[in-house]
Amino acid sequence: MGKFLLNKPGEKLILLGNEAIVRGALEAGVQFVSTYPGTPASEIGNTFSQIAKDAGVYFEFSTNEKVALEAGAGASFSGQRVLVAMKDFGLNVASDFLIPLCYSGVKGGMVILVADDPSCWSSAQSEQNTRAFAYLAHIPILEPSTPQECKDFIKLGFELSEKFEIPILIRTTTRVSHQSAPVVLDKIIKRNKKAEFVKNPRKFSTMPPRVLEMKQELLDKIEKIREFSEKSSLNQIARGQTSGRLGIITSGVSYLYVKEAMEELNINLPVLKLGFFHPLPEKKIQKFIKNLKKVLVVEELEPFLEKEIKILAKDTNPCLPAGRQNLQISGKSHLSQIGELRPEQVISAVSKFSGKKTNFDFARHRQEFSNLKITKRYPQFCPGCPYWFVFPTLRRIVPKDTIFGGEIGCYMLAVYPPHRLQDYLYCMGSSVGIAHGIKKSTKQKLITFVGDSSFFHASIPALINAVFNKSSPLIIILDNRTTAMTGHQPNPGVGKTGMGDTAPEIKIEDIVRACGVKNLKVVDQQNVKEFEETVKDFLEKEEVSVIIARHPCKFVK
């Protein structure tokens, strides 16, 4: 792991996008890093966890993303440079705080790294497009395409954040975060400025009527950043040759597929690559589209760019005299809103757009491929996983019509064969709340699952709610002593911090008891008989009951 701390400017290293983000933060003199693990962002926290002490950086795995963001904000208010990292769903959790934070702004530079997962390679629940937060929170959003850009954009993010006193969001996707490529190193900077919180309630207290002034200040900041965006090399126009006055606008990993497609088709169209999603360099876009007849917007998921550009085009390319065609802007008529883009899709789209034929018959190839009979291989619990003792046992002993509730963690794999045992499954913390609603509505038997890390993350308010409102679900907390799915990060139950220091071990049973749960038992599910009897007994109870099934993940040392 020493490679991240090398201080040899000019040296080239092969880095994963996420590793380049770590390096970029170090080169920007980051002092405080917080995160909650989530793939495709997990390696950022994992790497800091390993190097924080040597790098002289404070690092923590927070209990959830909202807390991570709040902690980061506190450090920034005290003048520190802060990186907060999370996956897309994490920003939903953090959004309650994110929105007012953008109003007040920050002091020390603050970059929020959010990794989206188009195609849901490592995500249940939904396929999210974090760009939408530009509209909700007015937060500036930058989108790198490569590991080198990950590093460069992070550094610029810190500069912008400090200059305009606003958090900057860097949005990656799986194919950026988990892409590796050579990255040129620059110098690591150590900032030793003493941290101090200087009182300034006018800046940090979001109360009306001041809060509406803050909103105006935020909108003003965005316009200033837009001026920067207009001149920034992050938004670059590559001149090309086109007889038909065609042009392509793209960003993020899609840009790489556009370049690939032009190579494949042996054409060189003008391309506008946008490093800023928000605020968009409107003048630059208008200049680019002004003399074009047809523009193809290549972007993943929802057509946010396409819509923005269509609006801008109305002013730039008004109705032309009769006989001349208006500017045509297309995007999602060629490319899906669902799933990540792949090079062959962009090749086909650019081929259709430009009228240049491909050398390879993709349609025929796909037809032949779809004729192959391929058995789906689902992810599984690892050999030796303690969860193998939970689901088959439950299947065997509980009434057939028992409802099983799930959420996010390794135990969600029980949705796949051979278990097929999750009747509902949503975000972290949701399983207990939903269970309560079902139990209040029906007399059906119900067992709902929570993991140890997700218990701390978001389940405690739901548990309190269930007790407070006299509900009766059976909650099984699967305590495998780690945050396993994302790479075995510590959580508040394991007595170790993200920097490897010992910490108070917060006992789940103490919290459950303090929430007023009377039926509580801690068992090791590998004692099958005891586990079985407890489940049978608790399933008949008319109050909330909790079983903590505790057995460490086989990878816990």
Nearest approach, Cβ of residue 385 and other proteins (Å): 9
Residue 257 binding other proteins, by CB under 8 A: yes
State the binding string over 476-505 for other proteins (x if CB under 8 A, else -).
Answer: ---------xxx------------------
Give the residue from 279, 540, 257 showing the smallest Cα distance to 271. Answer: 257
| Candidates 128-136, 199-207, 343-351, 386-394; binding stretch for other proteins (CB under 8 A) | 343-351
Interface residue with other proteins among 199, 369, 502, 557 (CB under 8 A) is: 369
Closer residue to other proteins (CB): 209 or 384 = 384
Rounded Cα gap, residues 207 and 365, in angstroms? 61
User: What single-letter DSSP state applies at residue 327?
Assistant: P
| Candidates 202-210, 285-293, 300-308, 412-420; binding stretch for other proteins (CB under 8 A) | 412-420
Residue 375 binding other proteins, by CB under 8 A: yes
Residue 64 binding other proteins, by CB under 8 A: no
Rounded Cα gap, residues 478 and 386, in angstroms? 9
**N-to-C CA span, the chain:** 20
What 3-state class would DSSP assign to 446? strand
Nearest approach, Cβ of residue 545 and other proteins (Å): 30
Closer residue to other proteins (CB): 276 or 381 = 381
Residue 436 binding other proteins, by CB under 8 A: no
Interface residue with other proteins among 29, 40, 108, 303 (CB under 8 A) is: 40
Number of residues that bind other proteins (CB under 8 A): 54
Residue 522 binding other proteins, by CB under 8 A: no
Q: Which of residues 177-236 bind other proteins (CB under 8 A)?
A: 178-182
Residue 175 binding other proteins, by CB under 8 A: yes
How many residues belong to the chain? 557
Residue 266 binding other proteins, by CB under 8 A: no
Nearest approach, Cβ of residue 2 and other proteins (Å): 12
Interface residue with other proteins among 21, 28, 31, 43 (CB under 8 A) is: 43
Secondary structure string (H, E, C) spanning 490-544: CCCCCCECCCCCECCCCCHHHHHHHCCCCEEEEECCCCHHHHHHHHHHHHCCCCC
Using N-to-C axis directions, what is the helix angle for 362-370 and 343-354, rounded to 10°?
A: 140
Residue 343 binding other proteins, by CB under 8 A: yes
State the CB neighbour count (10 A cutoff) for residue 117. 25
Nearest approach, Cβ of residue 260 and other proteins (Å): 4
Residue 122 binding other proteins, by CB under 8 A: yes
Rounded Cα gap, residues 166 and 46, in angstroms? 26
Rounded Cα gap, residues 517 and 544, in angstroms? 6
Cis peptide before 552 (omega within 30 of 0): no
Interface residue with other proteins among 8, 12, 202, 554 (CB under 8 A) is: 12
Q: Do 130 and 114 meet the contact criterion of CB atoms below 8 Å apart?
A: yes
Q: Could you tell me which residues come within 8 angstroms of residue 283 by beta carbon, excluding any fewer than 6 positions away?
A: 230
Q: Do 234 and 160 meet the contact criterion of CB atoms below 8 Å apart?
A: no
Q: Could you tell me which residues come within 8 angstroms of residue 232 by beta carbon, excluding any fewer than 6 positions away?
A: 275, 276, 281
Residue 360 binding other proteins, by CB under 8 A: yes
Edge-to-edge strand list for the sheet holding 294-298 = 236-238, 271-274, 246-251, 294-298, 328-330
Rounded Cα gap, residues 346 and 240, in angstroms? 18
Residue 264 binding other proteins, by CB under 8 A: yes
Residue 50 binding other proteins, by CB under 8 A: no
Interface residue with other proteins among 35, 39, 250, 491 (CB under 8 A) is: 39
Nearest approach, Cβ of residue 394 and other proteins (Å): 18
Closer residue to other proteins (CB): 115 or 234 = 115
Using CB under 8 A as the criterion, which residues of the chain lie in contact with other proteins when the complex forms?
12, 14, 16, 39-40, 42-43, 121-124, 146, 174-175, 178-182, 253, 256-257, 259-260, 263-264, 342-344, 347, 360, 362, 365-366, 368-369, 372-382, 410, 413, 417-418, 485-487
